[in-house]
Amino acid sequence: MNIRLNQLARELTPPLLWNFFRKSFYRIKKRSTAHSHLQNADWYNRTYEKTTGYHTHFTESEYYFLWTVVTDRIVQSGAQRIVDLGCGPGQFATLLRSRGISSYCGVDFSSKAIALAKKVCPGYSFIITDMSQSDLLKSAQYDLVVALEFLEHITFDLDIIKQIKSGIRFIGTVPNYPYHSHVRYFRGTEEVKERYAPFFDRFTVDVFQQNVAGDRYFLIDGIRN
């Protein structure tokens, strides 16, 4: 009976509206079953190994639309020495290389991510390290720090930001939805500002919608004070 009702509802509902309800229901179900907590390197190694999206060209990534915005900001800033925290499998790095960024250091604690990154983007530097135990941001030379979909995965996000050198530009993204590996997410721009704005001058937050279900990314940008 439930199957028949579902079929009838689908026949009577306009396709666009049906797709919205379907995705919204999926998102609610996903959120209600997600166990958000800090994951270890083995979890990320398995994820990078099995997820098809991490093995595609950067133009095919679901994050490509957002990466283009970030890349344009980096290029327009004139920065040439980039540190990318939580760099993943090198897709974003490959995009930066295609736009002429000369010096790049990608950091991730997943050995699988770094192996993939070195394969697709030779010539850039990639380091396996746990940022909770690293002094990279204190010792390295860089013009700009990037952290795309990274801060929400760690409990020590504010400690990382505090290590960024004064006067350095930071560009990052955080989401508005929970996930298995998210330790936090943000319901709106005010929550983002409350957490991160005190550490930056000229701080801005822009909102980008990912899909019809309402998933959004908050793009944060500022100069470390």
61 in the same domain as 118: yes
10 in the same domain as 53: no
139 in the same domain as 104: yes
**Total structural domains within the chain:** 2
User: What is the value of pTM for the model shown?
Assistant: 0.84
State pLDDT tens for residues 147-195.
Answer: 999 999 999 999 999 999 999 999 999 999 999 999 999 999 999 999 9
- CB proximity list for 172: less than 8 A, separation 6 or greater: 146, 147, 148, 150, 151, 219, 220
From the DSSP assignment, how many helices (H) and strands (E) are in the chain?
Answer: 9, 7
Q: For the residues 22-29, what does the mean pLDDT come to?
A: 48
61 in the same domain as 153: yes
Query: Can you tell me the distance from the alpha carbon of 142 to that of 83, in angstroms, rounded to the nearest whole number?
Result: 7
Range of the domain at 25: 2-33
212 in the same domain as 141: yes
204 in the same domain as 172: yes
Query: Can you tell me the distance from the alpha carbon of 210 to that of 208, in angstroms, rounded to the nearest whole number?
Result: 6
**Tally of residues, the chain:** 225
State pLDDT tens for residues 101-145.
Answer: 999 999 999 999 999 999 999 999 999 999 999 999 999 999 999
45 in the same domain as 23: no
- CB proximity list for 211: less than 8 A, separation 6 or greater: 23
Q: For the residues 51-69, what does the mean pLDDT come to?
A: 97
pLDDT band for 65, please (50, 70, 90 cuts).
Answer: very high
119 in the same domain as 13: no
